Amino acid sequence: MLATLISRGKGAVANLQSRLKTSPKSHSARKVTDGLLRAMPALRRERGHSRPPRVSARPSGQECPRLPRLRASEPCLVSRLAGRSAFWIILLLLSALPAIARADSPSSTDDQATFARKAEAAYQTAQKRFQAEPGNPEAEWQFGRACYDWADFVNSNGERARIAQEGIDACRKLIERDAQSVPGHYYLALNIGQLARTKTLGALRLVGQMEAEFKITLSLDPKFDYAGADRGLGLLYRDAPGWPTSIGSKSKARVHLQRAVKTSPDYPENLLNLIEADLKWGDHNGALREWKALDELWPTAKKQFAGEAWAPSWADWEKRRSEVQKKIGEASRVLEPPKMK
């Protein structure tokens, strides 16, 4: 799988180099944005959560059991990315492919099909309510959430763009009437991310909007969706390439990922994200420390986040937990001092 991806990546590099001769700015920027958006699937792992408690248009400190996903580059930066530097940009983006492939891999084909059917059914139910109750804030943001979930499963870019745009429109209607709507801004950010996956050069602008909506959500209610805004920003900064390609920042990522754990320490996703970041950065002591916290949390979380609606999340969490356990074990053996004979 990885060999195939790398082969395709090399072909994309060669194709890009030839096309840069006629339009360097356009093709360089398009490849860069595509790479950035592909770095975000970690934010799309959780699907099909249980029905949340009723949330007003102005929730405060209330958590919504749902998922829990880069500032647009300036034109002058896009210009600088053209030419010979484009080759190295593509190689940088290719380095993220193993993690991308892992994040998108379902636990099984049967499970994936089941999750998709449930997401589609939830979308249809939310759409009917949204259409039947115009002006209802809860119906609007819940439809936005359902659009985000269902768009995550469709294979066609055209269909994904259509569904995401429906979610964007619903959330913006809510925000027009209430600029302080936490779920409105949060699910607007997630649906913008889905739409950006279908774009090329236009994705730069959408990525900036996405980051901005997460920041607004964070300023209004840091606890929403188990610290969803901090989690989203942390993953954006962690997985995006750094300056001058994009907004990736280890320091910013660490701040937001650690804050997500502090704000909602009982939510397994937050600890998993931080452990994976520590391993990526080579901070094995930090990963081990957070792993011990996750190991203690696991039995309690199993009871707290129980039920059929949480099955997709646990399928993902269990898989990732096994992966980080293996990596931590390997790192511990490497760091262990040699035994005296």
User: What's the pLDDT score for residue 38?
Assistant: 44
- Taking only the tens place, the pLDDT of each residue in 14-37 is 554 444 444 333 333 344 344 444
Give domain 29-335's CATH architecture.
Answer: Alpha Horseshoe (1.25)
Q: Please state which of the ranges 41-50, 189-198, 241-250 shows the lowest mean pLDDT.
A: 41-50
Confidence band of 334 (pLDDT split at 50, 70, 90): low
pLDDT digits (tens, 9 = 90+) for 209-236: 889 999 999 999 999 999 999 999 998 8
DSSP 8-state symbol, 247: -
DSSP for 227-240, please give it. Answer: HHHHHHHHHHHHHS
CA–chain centroid gap for 104, Å, is 11
CA-wise closest residue to 65 among 272, 254, 330, 266: 266
Do the Cβ atoms of 236 and 70 come closer than 8 Å? Answer: yes
pLDDT tens track for 193-210: 899 889 877 776 787 788
Nearest to 192 by CA among 170, 165, 215, 174: 165
pLDDT computed for residue 312 by the predictor: 86
- Provide mean pLDDT across the span 133-157: 94
Report pLDDT for 271. 97
Q: Is the bond preceding residue 53 a cis peptide, omega within 30 degrees? A: no
Q: Where are the domains of the chain?
A: 29-335
Cβ-based burial of 124 (10 A; exposed 0-12, middle 13-18, buried ≥19): exposed
Task: Return the exposure string of 74-94: e unless at least 16 CB atoms fall within 10 Å of the residue's CB, then b.
Answer: eeebbeebbeeebeebbebbb
Give pLDDT, residue 200: 76
Q: For residues 200 and 285, which has the higher predicted lDDT (pLDDT)? A: 285
